[in-house]
Amino acid sequence: MPEFDMPGHATSWCTGYPDICPSPTCLGPLNPATNQTFDLIDNFLGEVTGGKQGGGLFYDDLLHLGGDEVDTSCWTSTPSIAAWMQQNNITTNGAYMYFVLKVHQMAIAQGRNPVNWEEVFNAFGTQLDPKSIIHIWLDFATLARVVAAGYRAILSNNNVWYLDHLATTWEQFYLNEPFTNLTDPKQQALVLGGEVCMWGETVDTSDLFQTVWPRAAAAAERLWSAQDVNNTAEFHARLSNFRCLLNSRGIAAAPVDNTQARENPPAPASCYAQ
């Protein structure tokens, strides 16, 4: 599933298309007050998806549109955007919603389901299109609110499923049950799955695989297993074997029992010790 984050985290677009950004000195979020912004996004999404006919760069029916961490201060400090908001009698939050809903309709028109980070749901709730999918990262409790409102969800709660949090143990990854406090089968069915996150700015080629593996495997088994498959002692043997299998295939997975991800092994030849 590709993610094209907007309107925030998009200042790189200003280099090629300066007119869609607030000003040369205040670059983001993208400018909601000009049709140039939305014309560009619509054409861009058409290239990505190929529209309803398909044939684009990505074939998933999901299209992640970001929407997180939107700092609207550039909108209020840019006279043309401030005047547009005043003319339309909306606040910065209203401009944010206008942007999100307009891009949602573009994605839906091109046969895709729009996905957004949870800030979008926290801000606009049931004003979002029913096709919207909410990606939880800030607060696990938001998952229950999302599915109770009838929206589909993806879980990536940052306190236990962010791989760049090196002190988070494989046990925590494994015991992070998406259906916690969800007993209604209809609501459970709205949880599409989960994702562990590895942010590129915290790794390079020297430590990527040690940071991702084997902890990502713990989340993987949780996602494909029933709720009652949760015995960490039994899983430990499977995880240790899997880690050594990765090593034998040239994947530099870290030792299972380190207190910090990607630490050195406690002793040499740990796989042979099995």
pLDDT in tens, 9-18: 999 999 999 9
- According to the model, what pLDDT value does residue 189 have? 98
- According to the model, what pLDDT value does residue 59 have? 86
User: Amino acid letter at 133?
Assistant: I
Average pLDDT over residues 208-215: 97
pLDDT in tens, 143-193: 999 999 999 999 999 999 999 999 999 999 999 999 999 999 999 999 999
Q: Cα–Cα distance between 150 and 128 in angstroms, integer?
A: 11
Cis peptide before 268 (omega within 30 of 0): no
Q: Cα–Cα distance between 32 and 30 in angstroms, integer?
A: 6
- According to the model, what pLDDT value does residue 274 have? 54
Using CA atoms, how far residue 101 sits from 7, 104, 199, 242, in Å, is 12, 5, 27, 44
- According to the model, what pLDDT value does residue 36 have? 97
- Selecting among 69, 118, 171, 263, the annotated active-site residue is 69
Which of the four pLDDT bands, split at 50, 70 and 90, describes residue 55? confident
Average pLDDT over residues 72-96: 98
Phi, psi of 234, rounded to the nearest 5 degrees: -70, -40
Q: Judge whether 118 counts as a catalytic residue.
A: no
Average pLDDT over residues 125-137: 97
Which of 27, 8, 26 has its CA nearest to residue 16?
Answer: 27
| Domains of the chain, residue spans | 13-203
- Largest Cα–Cα distance in the chain? 72
DSSP code per residue over 169-191:
-HHHHHT--TTTT---HHHHTTE
CATH annotation of 13-203? 3.20.20.80
In this prediction the pTM is 0.94
Which of 109, 123, 129 has its CA nearest to residue 72?
Answer: 123
